[in-house]
Amino acid sequence: MSTPPRGRLADAYDLVIFDLDGVIYLSDKAVAGAVEAVKRLHDAGRSIAYATNNASRRASEVADLLTGLGVPAAADEVLTSAAAAARRLGDRLEPGARVLVVGAEALRQEVVEAGLTPVGSADDQPVAVVQGYGREVGWVILAEAALAVRAGALWIATNTDRTLPSPRGPLPGNGSLVAVLRTALDREPDEVIGKPQPVLFEEAVKRDAADRPIVVGDRLDTDIEGAVGAGLDSLLVLTGVSQPRDLIAAPPHQRPTYVAPDLAGLFEDVETLAIAEGGSWQVADGKLHGHGDPIAALRTIAAAAWNGTDVSTLRGADDQATSALRALGL
85-96 per-residue burial string, b: 16 or more CB within 10 A, e: under 16: bbbbbbeebeee
How many beta carbons lie within 10 A of that of residue 302, not counting itself?
Answer: 23
Catalytic residue of the set 19, 161, 218, 221? 19
Give every CB contact of residue 179 below 8 A, 6+ residues apart in sequence.
Answer: 162
**CA–CA gap between residue 190 and residue 187 (Å, rounded):** 9
Catalytic residue of the set 14, 21, 123, 262? 21
Question: For 298, what's the count of Cα atoms within 13 Å in the CB-facing half-sphere?
Answer: 25
DSSP three-state, residue 224 = helix
For residue 223, indicate whether it is catalytic: no
The CA-atom distances, in angstroms, between 228 and each of 195, 198, 232, 255 are 11, 9, 6, 7
Give 228-281 as a DSSP string.
HHHT-EEEEETTSS--HHHHHT--GGG--SEEESSGGGGGSBHHHHB--SBTTE
Element spanning 163, H or E: strand 163-164
For residue 19, indicate whether it is catalytic: yes
| Residues acting as catalytic residues | 19, 21
